[in-house]
Amino acid sequence: MEGASVKFKAHIPAVVAAALSAALLVSAFTPFGEVASVAVALAPLLAVARLASPKKSAWTWFGGGFAFWFATLAWMPAICKNNGPWPLVGLGWFGLAALCSGYFALFGWLDSLAWRRFGRWGLAFEPVLWAGVEWLRGWLFTGFAWNFLGTALGPVPDFLAPARLGGVYLVSALVVAVNGVFATLLCRVIAQMRRETPQCRRWTRSLETALPLAAVLLISSLSSSTQTTNHEPQTTIPLRVALVQRNAPCVFNAGRKRENPFVVYSRLIETAALANPHLIVWGESGMVEFGGLGSDGARQVAGVFARSAGGASLIAGGDYMVQTNGERRVYNGAGLYTVDGSNVTLQVYCKQHLVPFGEYIPFDKWITPLQKLSPIGVSLHPGEAKVLDVPVEGDSVKVAPLICFEDTVPSLSRNGAKLGAQAIVLITNDSWFSDSWEAEQHAAQAVLRAVETGLPVIRVGNSGVTGVIAPSGRARWLTDGSGRPLVDAPGCQLETVKVSTGPRLTPYTRFGDWPLLVLFAASIVGLFLVNYRHATNR
């Protein structure tokens, strides 16, 4: 019993570190938004990685990660109100939290190993390892690019400028560097409590805290100067947009009363017409109540509303069917309707990044009976990056559409910018998770896309959140009476978005994730080579 008691007590600090880091991380993200806590949230877990074995570090990071993910994804059960089965929702909630926690465990193991093999040089490894593991989480097995560490800084746009150089991953790396400084101080406090003698000189210990902070300041200064250079006066086009938030109930919720969609849109378009807009934007699935994007019904409705708003173009989401070599393919699309006299022309973008188990079942193209398990009743096909031309008073503005969770994937908005987009238009439908904080948490992901590409982001949610994000990261949301984003209610926001006639590509748009991947790969190779040499020399 005495041995078991000693073993239990030895685990208490790790459990406390995991719980404290999880609580601080949760508080940093939407809906709590205590941004300052992100600067110290990982410090307890980083201290564990430096003081414990790689195995214990991995398990502690997994525990802290699971507590964080299970809490931050607490909006998932909201889908049960829309006829989502509790057993499957609970399994998905638990499974997704566990999957994301696995990446925390991977980082904890790698970080602990780095400190054992490189000593104080582990400080240089931590930011790179964290950013690389985040990239893996957003890419591996289709990825889950949600709540990257840098996303927590969205409410403080002045701290987001490094995203122009290295995307959200660079912002996350800098946050980890700052956390590393606090972890160093925490380790010193623990050493004092244990009455351990420092193993290095005082000036070396000073560098452990000074160098990471100097690197953070240097990169932040460099990125800010790059932002100033790229924002020199340019010719701009004032694009007047009307953002229409319909708030249609989830398609699976038969219990909610549905208003006549034509009446609802007519009321909202009356407000939109006051601004004489160039572009009207509806949410994802905005056209499904009138037919598929290419149907006569959809064209007719789009024409009626476009003409009532002075001939504006209209973007709306819906299903888009194409016959290819006798095969019918269905896409989740965004259609741009433009009035040309008595005709209504249509340009369509098809969603590239589909949600597994939501828009398709893995391997269902090869094992076709699996398609019957799709919750939307059909297996969708992925599309390609594309820009659409919006007529603007004798000129045109190129917009890159994105749909739903595509605003969480940096590469998609970057590809749109490379194709010459002058603005990004994101349409989504989060009514599946109505009466939860999912919509606000989702909107927070889009802020970094504006900074990374240097392009304004025009965002419309069927049930919220709706608004415009400037290239600096500053957002103007459609709000309720209290100043909070309007969610689960209809509304219309009128904005004039200044789009550049020739936007300059940001460094991140030009070079993408390759600099990070090279550093990450070099770190992993170096770490394992040194570890192998250590193992063979024992």
From the list 209, 227, 69, 230, the residue with the least C-alpha distance to 159 is: 227
Residue-averaged pLDDT of the chain:
90
Are 477 and 466 in contact by the 8 Å Cβ rule? The answer is yes
pLDDT of residue 508: 97
* Distant-in-sequence, close-in-space partners of 208: CB < 8 Å, separation ≥ 6: 120, 123, 181, 184
d(CA 335, CA 319): 9
Tell me which DSSP letter residue 502 carries: S
Q: What percent of the chain has pLDDT over 90?
A: 72
Give the distance, in angstroms, between the CA of residue 166 and the centroid of all CA atoms in the same chain.
Answer: 15
Q: What is the DSSP string of 201-258?
A: -HHHHHHHHHHHHHHHHHHHHHHHHHHHHHTS---EEEEEEEEEE--PPPTT-TTS--
Q: Tell me the β-bridge partners of 348.
A: 335
pLDDT of residue 532: 82
Average pLDDT score over residue span 92-101? 96
d(CA 329, CA 126): 45
For the sheet with 343-350, list strands across it.
Answer: 343-350, 327-340, 313-324, 279-281, 236-245, 491-500
* Distant-in-sequence, close-in-space partners of 389: CB < 8 Å, separation ≥ 6: 336, 347, 396, 397, 398
Reported confidence tier of residue 462, pLDDT bands at 50, 70, 90 = very high
Amino acid at 225: S
Length of the chain: 538
Maximum Cα–Cα distance across the chain:
88
pLDDT at 139 over 90: yes
CATH of domain 236-349+384-502: 3.60.110.10
Reported confidence tier of residue 484, pLDDT bands at 50, 70, 90 = very high
d(CA 62, CA 137): 14
Q: Two tokens at 60?
A: 């502690």
Angle between helices 86-118 and 54-72 (to 10 degrees): 150
pLDDT of residue 5: 38
Q: What is the radius of gyration, based on Cα positions, of the chain?
A: 25
d(CA 358, CA 174): 34
pLDDT of residue 6: 39
Domain ranges of the chain: 2-231+513-537, 236-349+384-502
* Helix (H/G/I), strand (E/B), else coil: 423: strand
| Digit-coded pLDDT (tens) for 487-536 | 999 999 999 999 999 889 999 999 999 999 999 999 999 999 988 887 78
Q: What percent of the chain has pLDDT over 70?
A: 92
Q: What is the DSSP string of 438-468?
A: HHHHHHHHHHHHHHHHT--EEEEESSS--EE
Average pLDDT score over residue span 432-442? 94
* Distant-in-sequence, close-in-space partners of 235: CB < 8 Å, separation ≥ 6: 500, 501, 502
Check residues 83 and 178 and name the one with the higher pLDDT: 178
* Helix (H/G/I), strand (E/B), else coil: 320: strand
Can you give the pTM of this predicted structure? 0.93
pLDDT at 87 over 90: no
Are 89 and 80 in contact by the 8 Å Cβ rule? The answer is yes
Check residues 377 and 301 and name the one with the higher pLDDT: 301
Average pLDDT score over residue span 339-364? 90
* Distant-in-sequence, close-in-space partners of 391: CB < 8 Å, separation ≥ 6: 278, 313, 338
Average pLDDT score over residue span 355-365? 83
| Digit-coded pLDDT (tens) for 1-52 | 334 333 434 556 899 999 999 999 999 999 999 999 999 999 999 999 999 9
| Digit-coded pLDDT (tens) for 221-233 | 888 776 655 545 5
Amino acid at 13: P
d(CA 499, CA 241): 12
Q: Tell me the β-bridge partners of 390.
A: 397
Q: Find where tokens 């940093």 sit.
A: 28
d(CA 107, CA 67): 16
From the list 406, 413, 462, the residue with the least C-alpha distance to 284 is: 462
| Digit-coded pLDDT (tens) for 50-86 | 999 999 999 999 999 999 999 999 999 998 887 778 8
Long-range residue pairs from 74-77, CB within 8 A, at least 24 positions apart, any chain: 74/436, 75/433, 75/436, 75/437, 75/438, 75/441, 76/433, 76/438
pLDDT at 260 over 50: yes
Question: For 377, phi and psi rounded to 5 degrees?
Answer: 85, 0
Q: What is the DSSP string of 262-297?
A: HHHHHHHHHHHHTT--SEEE--TTTTTTT--TTSHH
